[in-house]
Structure 1
């Protein structure tokens, strides 16, 4: 990399090493579906939140005094596998925080169709995950690829992936976006192919490339060795003949990264809803009155907890909920009934009620914890639920 580019990328909020420790980046998990899975991954997949929940999460972090300069969408699925939640989240963040830097990480499928809209809302850069530029190499790396809603034979799907990624990178650049290529180096599978990836992606206009060594995880990648330092150095030198190489940010994709400070450390982990003057209470659906154990769709009553005087939160009342079976109208009515609650605790909840309720200001928190401990934690207490919160 030339000296001028070293200086250019040193100050970049996501590419520069120095900036990574001083710039707060919050990753919002709004992508509900993956469109591929690497053959050597563990298949772990978290829960996506609605765009409204994501914006509320960003608001809470900022209100807590944490400086966030970059909002990225990196998971838990692929941000462009179902583009609508990603695009809506980015629009909402841009409208409320016009100076925020926006970015996303994607496999690139559907990227060509979304490039103009991403550029139009001021997305700064897109990271495209490219592990192969030839179908036969890609076929060795993926357990499955689903370019659309239709399942295809892997050989055919691998060809469509390679073609789709090339179109996406070209479209991103034509739209004026900065493009970073992330490539995982798999010994014996694509290590000798990385230089070709760098050459092709550079030819399509990609700006920089980062190389991640494959490291097998427990229960995944058995029989494939980790990419060692010597191999990575050799691969990096060959790729650098064609494109500028930047260091990998190991934490990219986590909830809140950057900002090596007390405030950033305090904000790590799940960012919980919190009470407000207008919404001071917590709603809970339960069959026992002890644990959060009901699916929201089956609940006909909600227990409402809230502060009483200067004491701890306690049960205030039990409210009847609309009968199941009335579709979205049920959730609109439920939102009215619980209009003084900032969060609703349930053992499970569908995407539609979560979307409707979060849009009305009521977050849905999925948990299997004990009621007393979970409610106490939401009000800042130190007690633990009997089980684990899943958010």
Structure 2
């Protein structure tokens, strides 16, 4: 685990400056709808959930090979969208191909956690090294302001019932992943001033008890149904991180990466344009390092 943390640029701030990662956009659909999330296929938006195109697992393997030629510092191949990694089997097929052809590359998945407890055997088969679970609230009433609905086994849930289902699945999934796999568990929390900022410590405590080891608190990008909400300022972000620190290590350098990001984050070195053949304008992605 310590070796993984040492070389994983999304888990370690020193690794962030010298090792690279690639996100492979192979997961086309999601099973929840966050009020701030904007997923899409485009070349410009510098936000999570956006990608040049959705790849097949076989195409993703080709892209990874090109990326390693352009940026040998890449140590991690992750799937972080544009939908949820566990909502389809595409990510697992991709990880199995990577495991076979590039066994030295760490395999990392990001998920909302709804299906995490049900996908443990596939995680073990793919030998996933790290798992990031986005936990924005552990209070159903607050989560109901953040998440619009849950699709669970082809049934749509809304309201408090949906949020209780999601929160229970997330914490149980983290617990099972931590106890039954060798993966390092990180949680992400989108900080939304006036909504979940008062429960960051409680989220961190619950995540630690479930088995997580690191917390990434990232500022809200005001968009979609939360377009009118303010971004957290530096003081609010600092206070949230301080609230989490008694329970978990806190990561400070998230860049709000796209689902097709690639390169060394700490050097502002994005090779995605070379991989996909399109230039993208640089936009403010609001990182408070």
- 1:13 deviates by 3.4
Task: Tell me the equivalent position of 2:119.
Answer: 114
- Name the CA shift for 1:248/1:81 in 2 (closer, same or farther; >3 Å): farther
Which of 11, 15, 37 in structure 2 is aligned with 1:19? 15
Task: Tell me the equivalent position of 2:174.
Answer: 169
Which of 138, 148, 152 in structure 1 is aligned with 2:153? 148
- Name the CA shift for 1:112/1:215 in 2 (closer, same or farther; >3 Å): same
Distance 2:18 2:39 in 1: 32
| CA deviation vs aligned residue, 1:259-313 (integer Å, no higher than 9, x gap) | 7779x55x332624xxxxxxxxxxxxxxxxxxxxxxxxxxxxxxxxxxxxxxxxx
Contact 1:251 1:257 in 2 (8 A): no
Task: Tell me the equivalent position of 2:212.
Answer: 206
Larger mean CA deviation between 87-96 and 22-31 belongs to: 22-31
Contact 2:57 2:93 in 1 (8 A): yes
Larger mean CA deviation between 198-207 and 33-42 belongs to: 33-42
Q: How does 1:248-327 map to 2 (within 5 A)?
A: 248-253=253-258, 254-258=260-264, 265=270, 267-269=271-273, 271-272=275-276
User: Does residue 54 in structure 1 map to residue 60 in structure 2?
Assistant: yes
Distance 1:38 1:125 in 2: 23
Unaligned runs of 5+ in 2: 41-49, 279-289
- 1:156 deviates by 1.7
Distance 2:241 2:199 in 1: 12
User: Does residue 75 in structure 1 map to residue 75 in structure 2?
Assistant: no
Q: Match of 2:221, SS? A: coil
User: Does residue 159 in structure 1 map to residue 155 in structure 2?
Assistant: no
Task: Tell me the equivalent position of 1:223.
Answer: 228
Distance 1:110 1:259 in 2: 29
Task: Tell me the equivalent position of 2:195.
Answer: 189
Contact 2:8 2:76 in 1 (8 A): no
- Name the CA shift for 1:54/1:236 in 2 (closer, same or farther; >3 Å): same
Distance 2:256 2:219 in 1: 14
Contact 2:140 2:164 in 1 (8 A): yes
> What's the TM-score once normalised by structure 2's chain length?
0.83
Distance 1:271 1:124 in 2: 25
Could you say what the CA RMSD is over the residues aligned between the two structures, in angstroms?
A: 2.6
| CA deviation vs aligned residue, 1:97-126 (integer Å, no higher than 9, x gap) | 111111011001111122233134321110
Distance 2:5 2:12 in 1: 5
- Name the CA shift for 1:92/1:9 in 2 (closer, same or farther; >3 Å): closer
- Name the CA shift for 1:154/1:148 in 2 (closer, same or farther; >3 Å): farther
- Name the CA shift for 1:158/1:65 in 2 (closer, same or farther; >3 Å): closer
> What's the TM-score once normalised by structure 1's chain length?
0.62
Contact 2:74 2:264 in 1 (8 A): no
Distance 1:26 1:9 in 2: 16
Which structure has more RCO (C-alpha within 8 Å, separation ≥ 6)?
Answer: 2
Distance 1:59 1:22 in 2: 19
- Name the CA shift for 1:222/1:121 in 2 (closer, same or farther; >3 Å): closer
Task: Tell me the equivalent position of 1:127.
Answer: 132
- Name the CA shift for 1:139/1:259 in 2 (closer, same or farther; >3 Å): closer
- 1:197 deviates by 0.5
Task: Tell me the equivalent position of 1:89.
Answer: 94
- Name the CA shift for 1:33/1:85 in 2 (closer, same or farther; >3 Å): same
Distance 2:250 2:59 in 1: 35
Equivalenced residue count is: 265
